[in-house]
Amino acid sequence: MTTADDLIGLVRAYNPNTDAQTIARAFAFGEKMHDGQFRRSGEAYFTHPVEVARLLAEQHLDDSTLVTALLHDTIEDTRASYEEVAGQFGREVADLVDGVTKLTKLQLSSSATKQAENFRKLIMATSKDIRVTLVKLADRLHNMRTIRSMPLDKQHQKARETMDVYAPLAGRMGMQWMREELEDLAFQVLNPEGRASIIRRFIRLQKETGDVVDQIKSDLADLMRSAGLQAEIHGRAKKPYSIWRKLQAKEQSFSRLSDIYGFRVIVGDEVDCYRVLGLIHQRWRAVPGRFKDYISQPKSNGYRSLHTTVSGRNARRVEVQIRTPSMHQVAEKGAAATWAYRDGQRQDNPFALEPSEWIASLTERLGHEGDHGEFFEAVKLEMYTDQVFCFTPKGDVIKLPRGATAIDFAFAIHTRIGSACVSAKVDGIRVPLWTRLRNGQSVQIITAEGQIPQATWIDMAATGRAKSAIRRSLREHDREKYIRLGRELARVAFEAVGRKVTDKALATGAKHYGLADAEELLARLGSAEIPAREVVSGLYPNLKVRSTDGVASDKAVIGLATGQSFQSGTCCQPLPGERIVGITYRGSGVVIHTIDCTKLEAFESQMDRWLDVRWHEGQHAATHTVTADLTIRNGVGVMGRICTLIGDLKANISNLRFLDRKPDYFRLLVDMDVSDVSQLHSILTALEADSDIASVSRHRSTETGDTDDTPQQAAE
């Protein structure tokens, strides 16, 4: 493992003024806090924070960021508190550690609604201090490098989350090297056969053509020398995922895909960049349509470079990027370049763009939106897409994602102009609003008084900003009409399953979609943004036939030794779909607890009794008991109707216990046998929507009891 002296030596190489004593104290503090904790691979847990700190040191980051990396899991996973970290290392570090802790808790691979809400929180947290995101990205990179020690289902969950969120976020932060590695590591988990196929074909190509990279690097070096230019030349084959993505996008076979090699020529200044471009185009034939000038028109993340693709040696296409050392630093480090140090001083790179400006513009422009899904859509569009640059008639540059239309251009200028547009002129020629724009075009928007956005515009628009503004305008203009129509659609959908539309049912449905109230849900139903049938199936999922074939009860848990029996802890009543841990007892018995069960505190000093287990994938039998805490109206037939509702959802009531009886309400505990946590969630949602139920929640015992207080069959 990297030692404190190793890490300090790495930092001193670029920052001789580093506070070595503080880094050493943070190293010792983190090592002490994580003492006795181990990763799934069997390594001491503290190796992970150390490697995260090393990754950031390689990006030449400041002392506070490195100390944060060493401590980033202490508040979440150890007995250390915010106050203790602040007392020893200052409020700045404590706030950064707390920020990383909050990001770690966000479940970005959960349901679509929750994912969008949590993604919004991630962007908001990033806007406060970009270093929080830098630590989180380094944390995710090291976790992906060591992901093979995790259970297969967790590997897929983390890989999908990485591919959907963290890799494009790294790209938007300008850290292209990290984006490529994250994508390739996730690709290795999500599609190992596809990645292996790319590597096999690439090896076969190398055998047939030789080392193309060295050959072309030599050609470029000779060209630079002949022109008297000092140049640094790098060449490499592109990552397997990058090649795979090109294959999918172009629908070509591997043998026809030519630009799988990339080269960088780094020269002294911008003038030399354009000289090199001319030399390359004189030496080799340029591929039409593949030249991009990101020096005169930088990307929104600060990236600057000249890109060209030429037909090089043996007619093989190669991509060449030409840039200066300062541009190269921004291209390699991205957001980290704004915090990078050299010779003890924070570097002043004229090309480094503070990513918080982009985030601030997003939060200012979209932060007021009540719909988390629209925010998620807008940010993902900005992260995933490349850009085109178009001009207003006055010569102002408008940056848009590739594939944007004249409608997107209009809304990018101002919402008022977008709402009133009727057509556009591109390079002086009148075109429809759905016309896709290309780099360098001049666009004039034609407006008309009284014009309002049309529903068809949503499909024409490509940017989240335009889509959001169009939807908002449509909802405001036709709100009353949509509410009336939505109420009728809801009535028909609910009656189709024998239910009535109540205000409480609609309020529960609105809560499920993250909307403000029932009226907003009705407006979305009326505008066809949300299907009424989907709302009903969310509240009453018994319409779906549940499979009777599935996991046998005695095989429900994976990770037990041969012959070991198990039973669920009565304290937390774990269900399939929840994270669990096993506690061994004398003999061969194991009691299963949820990972957040309070009873586990009693076993913190007996780690040898902890067992790493997980639920078997598949459909479980409805034999897992869980308790619901209900407060219901004291009325004729209410109890019978609630029992029928639970039965309709394929759960069996095994016991009823009344906690309180009043003239107007009852409070009781209901024991139900269910198959998994998803079924429980469906039952609780349906009960919450019932107008005769005042409150409903899952009941768990708060008594920790004695460490060996468990049924005899598990203890013997």
Q: How far apart are CA 438 and CA 596, in angstroms?
A: 53
**In sequence order, what DSSP letters do the residues of 526-566 get, joined into one string?**
HTTSS-HHHHHHHH-GGGSPPPS--B-GGGSEESPPTT-EE
- Do the Cβ atoms of 530 and 513 come closer than 8 Å? yes
Three-class DSSP category at 165: helix
* Residue that is written with structure tokens 């000779």 in the block: 222
Return the DSSP state at 238: P
The secondary element (H helix, E strand) that includes residue 583 is strand 580-584
Considering the candidates 19, 31, 62, 77, report the single residue annotated as catalytic: 77
Residues 6+ apart with CB under 8 A from 707: 602, 603, 606
- Residue 149 to residue 154: CA distance in whole angstroms: 10
What span, in angstroms and rounded, lies between the C-alpha atoms of 553 and 557?
9
- What letter does residue 658 receive in the DSSP assignment? E
Catalytic residue among 19, 31, 62, 76: 76
Q: How far apart are CA 693 and CA 538, in angstroms?
A: 18
Q: Of 584, 581, 592, 579, whose CA–CA distance to 608 is shortest?
A: 584
* Beta-bridge partners for 594: 580
Distance CA 597, CA 458 (A): 47
Q: Which two tokens mark 414?
A: 């101002």
211 is known as an active-site residue = no
* E strands, 652-706, in order: 652-661, 665-674, 693-699
HEC per residue, 274-309: HHHHHHHHHHCEECCCCCEECCCCCCCCCCCCEEEE
Between β-strands 610-611 and 292-293, what pairing exists: parallel, antiparallel or unpaired? unpaired
Instruction: State the Cα torsion 209-211-215-216 to the nearest 10°.
Output: 90
- Decide if 696 contacts 628 (C-beta within 8 A): yes
| 75, 135 Cβ separation under 8 angstroms | no
- Rounded CA-CA distance 570/591 in Å is 9
578 is catalytic: no
Give the pairing type, strands 565-568 and 589-594: parallel
Q: Encoding tokens for residue 155?
A: 């590997």
Residues with catalytic roles: 76-77
